[in-house]
Chains A and B, each alone.
Chain A
Amino acid sequence: MATEALVELENVFFARGPHPVLDGVNMRIPRGAIVALMGASGGGKTTMLNLMAGTLRPQSGQIRVAGQDLKTLSEEAIYSLRRQMGMLFQHSALFTDLSAFENVAFPLRRHFRLPEGILRKLVMMKLEAVGLRGAAGLLPAELSGGMGRRVALARAVVMDPMLIFYDEPFTGLDPISVGIIASLIKRLNAALGATSVLVSHDVEETLSIADHGFILAGGKIIAEGSPDALRSSDSALARQFLGGQPDGPVPFHYPTQQDYAAALRDSRSSGERF
């Protein structure tokens, strides 16, 4: 982790209403790396991506992307910075009324006035990279889940971003599509010289392509390091998460004050409903 950091979080605190989502998070994402953010659902991983992209602002702490403190940037400057970022959304977020080609062309059309021939070449290059040149004319409704995710990936990288966010890229995909997406993430990151931040629950697939990983729980980072270091972490919580154990520091039962036997007895006599 000695390489220069592209993204740095310093003592970041973010809350939704009275509930803290991130509580004093420190993180350093080195340039050129694939970094995995893992943790239980609702642990603040997607929130962290949104904070890095500047779509959310922390209540306190500092977030620097490419040396720029997001807190001090105007909205216009953040939009300008985002032109160097790409994001693959959990459900692809393709524009349903546009074909695969037009979805990928969308950012180029909005930001540059390119001759149609050049634009076509750029879009087709990205579609070829994800193996979907033949699906350019299809609408999102005509694509399978895996194909939709690949079109969204082509759209995320069409501007050759320096920083790519992946929000649950493997969710809901069959094993072949998971393998394809994982290999594309690794290949595109190397080919574009980009930095990737990957939020995922798919431990094995994520750790197989990540250079570095963080595990988040209770709004804090409980373990970090290389995939091997994470696997041999001392933290019981990290071991439970990586091993997929149903019970442990994160309990199987939702906490309750009521005794189970007493609850059964009471509900039989009173017909109580929950």
Chain B
Amino acid sequence: MAFFDFIPQTGRRTLLTIPNLGAASRFLLSSLWNIFNRHFSMQQLFRQIYGFGVRSLILMVVAAFFTGMVLGFQGYYALVRFGATSALGTLVALSLLRELGPVLTALLFAGRAGSALTAEISSMKATEQLSAMEMMAVNPLAWVVAPRLWAGIIAVPILCAIFDLVGIFGGYLISVPVLGVDGGTFWAQMQSNVTFSGDILTGLLKALCFGVVVTWIAAWKGYTARPTAEGVGNATTLSVVTASLTVLGLDFILTALLFS
């Protein structure tokens, strides 16, 4: 019996998901389009970039530094068996540029900035600030949502580039001074095997896609949260969980498309 209940339940959920996805897509497009609205404020945009980007820097730098160092250790452990430690620079750089940089940046961004964004928008909704804005003939999509969406889209690739740089530096610090890999070989191998368009740009493109997805989910969850204390809490949790899982799933799809 339970199995037969499962079938209509799945159908019902699918039917509910489709209009929700449509509404979320309309929300994204109309928010992005609001960059042309006269209530869109560049000052707000820069403030949000500062809030999302600059205030996430310490977290990103620390995480990147340790990730790079761990990559140096683990890469050395694997390569030394084959006498291929000269490729350690390439391994560290490619791992970070192609995969770990964009994904970890997006996951950390979802936890640090995405959760704050959802909590902020849902609290504004719960305290009727969004309704007050509408009553003052100011579109909340233009004043509140659009600057935050654009700020996320701009900040994530920049944070990813910083993550990559710091991570490579962390890998270098472990590989060369600590493990004794030759410094010249470390950098030369990296330089000859890492391509700008194939590795760096595609990694940043991934970060851009993750930036759109994470900020979109965070803003949408906040905007559609139930206007209660419990609703704000649920929306914040859901925002981080949904964004993290979506980033991991999307990463697989993008990797298959970009690097196949």
B-binding residues in A (CB < 8 A) = 53, 55, 79-80, 82-83, 85-87, 89-91, 93-96, 106-107, 110-111, 155, 159, 165
Contacts and interface: CB of A to CB of B under 8 A. Distances in A.
Contact of A79 (B128, B129, B139): B139
Contacts of B132: 87, 89, 93-95
B128 A91 contact: yes
B138 A89 contact: no
A53 B134 CA distance: 10
Contacts of A93: 127-129, 131-132
Given A80-B137, A82-B137, A83-B137, A55 B131 contact: yes
B138 A110 contact: yes
A103 to B, nearest CB: 9
Interface residues of B, number: 13
28 contacts: A53-B135, A55-B131, A55-B134, A55-B135, A79-B139, A82-B137, A83-B137, A85-B135, A87-B132, A89-B131, A89-B132, A90-B128, A91-B127, A93-B127, A93-B128, A93-B129, A93-B132, A94-B129, A95-B132, A96-B127, A96-B129, A106-B138, A107-B136, A110-B137, A110-B143, A111-B137, A155-B136, A159-B136
A95 B135 CA distance: 14
A110 B131 CA distance: 16
Nearest to A103: B132
Given A110-B39, A110-B143, A95 B138 contact: no
B233 to A, nearest CB: 18
A134 to B, nearest CB: 24
A83 B136 CA distance: 6
B127 A110 contact: no
Given A110-B39, A110-B143, A79 B131 contact: no
A159 B129 CA distance: 18
Contacts of B134: 55, 82
Interface in B144-174: none
Interface string B119-131: 0000000011101
A83 B137 CA distance: 6
A85 to B, nearest CB: 7
Interface string B27-67: 00000000000010000000000000000000000000000
B67 to A, nearest CB: 34
Q: Top 7 nearest A-B pairs by Cβ distance?
A: A93-B128, A93-B132, A82-B137, A87-B135, A107-B136, A83-B137, A79-B137
A50 to B, nearest CB: 8
Contacts of B143: 110
Contacts of A96: 127, 129
B123 to A, nearest CB: 8
A272 B136 CA distance: 51
B136 A95 contact: no
A89 B227 CA distance: 15
A107 B134 CA distance: 11
Given A86-B135, A94-B132, 6 more contacts: A55-B131, A80-B137, A93-B129, A95-B129, A106-B136, A110-B137
A56 to B, nearest CB: 11
A159 B248 CA distance: 49
Contacts of B135: 53, 55, 82, 85-87, 165
A80 to B, nearest CB: 7
A147 B177 CA distance: 64
Nearest to B123: A96
Interface in B204-227: none
Contacts of A110: 39, 136-138, 143
A107 B138 contact: yes
A89 B128 CA distance: 8
Of A85, A107, A155, chain B has the most CB atoms within 10 Å of the CB of A107
Contacts of B39: 110
B124 to A, nearest CB: 8
A247 B159 CA distance: 64
Contacts of B127: 91, 93, 96
A86 B138 CA distance: 12
A83 B38 CA distance: 15
